[in-house]
């Protein structure tokens, strides 16, 4: 949880937008993914606490499932969260991109830096959050945490028949590839412009800034910032939390 002895990154006013409106189809049937529990606590609450743990973050905007904003408000009210942080809940949209835009629309004037963080990455450590904020404060318009890949990657052509073998066309140089996580951090005005300008569907916010022709930089990500996507990821997340409980001595 938050460590109040940690110095607040000074100066810039930072908000976090948490897109949490997805269904979690790849996780299988059940409640919307962000509302499913890890160690008895909804994934979304873990993600909100991960953002609020950074003393740089003064406002968290949660983008709830379209028909679930009231339920999410109740959820936030019923869990202990840092008092120094304000929380706002808005309903989301049909795509992650639309949900992020709706979250941006809810930001008050005066925000300099925006973090966009998947509710589906509930266990990101605060040091990673702070490193992203710091890199934006140092002047990068867009910052992504990322890790080197463990697997070799192949670029393929579509299979001739569904489920058939896919021809390999290239093997990109692995040393230059990174697996990108969140929170991604942005100069507020840049991210708003990216969302106003880029109309094709993309899978992360940084690629919208790339399309504006602006620089995006990578800072080290963290293994525990993995995305809960498939059922096995739930097992890993529970194991990470169990290890943290052990290390914390309770």
Ligand X SMILES: C[C@](O)(CO)[C@H](O)COP(=O)(O)O
Residues at the site binding ligand CTP, with contacts judged by CB under 6 A: 19-26, 33-34, 63, 92-96, 99, 118-120, 227, 229
Least distance in angstroms from the C-beta of 39 to ligand X: 22
Tell me the Cα Rg of the chain.
18
Q: Which member of 180, 198, 214, 219 binds ligand X (CB under 6 A)?
A: 180
Reduced to 3 states (helix: H, G, I; strand: E, B; else coil), residue 38 is strand
Q: Which of ligand X, ligand CTP, none lies near 66, with the C-beta cut-off 5 to 8 A by kind?
A: none
**Interaction of residue 96 with ligand X, rule CB under 6 A:** yes
Q: Which stretch binds ligand X (CB under 6 A): 67-75, 163-171, 179-187, 230-238?
A: 179-187
* Chain position carrying tokens 């692995």: 174
Q: Which of 80, 185, 91 is nearest to 140 (CA)?
A: 185
Phi and psi at 100, nearest 5°, equal -60, -45
Pick from ligand X, ligand CTP, none: which does 101 bind, CB < 5 to 8 A by kind?
none
- Give the contacts of 198 (CB within 8 A, at least 6 positions apart): 208, 211, 212
Q: Is 222 in a helix, a strand, or coil?
A: coil
Residues, the chain: 250
Binding mask 124-163 for ligand X (x = CB under 6 A): ----------------------------------------
**Nearest to ligand CTP of 41, 134 (CB atom):** 41
Q: Shortest gap between Cβ of 205 and ligand X (angstroms)?
A: 7
Q: For 204-237, b where at least 16 C-beta lie within 10 A, e where not — what string? A: bbbbbbbeeebebbebebbebbbebbeeeebeeb
- Residue 171 binds ligand X (CB under 6 A): no
Rounded to a whole number of angstroms, the minimum distance from the CB of residue 153 to ligand CTP is 20
Residue 230 interacts with ligand X (CB under 6 A): yes or no:
no
187 binds ligand X (CB under 6 A): no
Minimum Å gap between C-beta 123 and ligand CTP is 13
Site for ligand X in 47-76 (CB under 6 A): none
Token pair recorded at residue 180: 């990108």
Q: What angle do CA 15, 135, 10 make, to 5 degrees?
A: 60
- In the complex, the residues that contact ligand X under the rule CB under 6 A are 96, 118, 180-182, 203-204, 227
């Amino acid at each position: 949880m938050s460590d109040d002895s940690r110095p607040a990154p000074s100066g810039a006013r930072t908000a976090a937008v948490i897109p949490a409106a997805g269904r979690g189809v790849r996780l299988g049937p059940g409640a919307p993914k962000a509302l499913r529990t890890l160690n008895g606590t909804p994934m979304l609450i873990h993600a909100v606490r991960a953002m609020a743990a950074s003393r740089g973050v003064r406002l968290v905007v949660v983008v709830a499932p379209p028909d679930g904003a009231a339920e999410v408000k109740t959820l936030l009210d019923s869990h202990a969260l840092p008092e120094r942080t304000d929380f706002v809940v808005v309903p989301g949209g049909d795509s992650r991109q639309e949900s992020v835009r709706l979250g941006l629309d809810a930001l008050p004037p005066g925000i300099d830096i925006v973090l966009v963080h998947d509710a589906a990455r509930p266990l990101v450590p605060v040091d990673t959050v702070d490193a992203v904020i710091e890199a934006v404060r140092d002047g990068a318009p867009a910052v992504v945490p990322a890790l080197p890949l463990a697997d070799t990657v192949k670029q393929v052509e579509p299979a001739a028949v569904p489920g058939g073998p896919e021809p390999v066309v290239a093997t990109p140089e692995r040393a230059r590839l990174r697996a990108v996580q969140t929170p991604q951090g942005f100069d507020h005005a840049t991210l708003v412009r990216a969302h106003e300008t880029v109309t094709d569907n993309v899978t992360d916010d940084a690629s919208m800034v790339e399309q504006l022709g602006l620089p995006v930089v990578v800072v080290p990500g963290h293994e525990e910032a993995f995305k809960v996507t498939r059922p096995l990821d739930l097992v890993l997340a529970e194991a990470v939390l169990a290890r943290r409980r052990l290390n914390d001595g309770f």
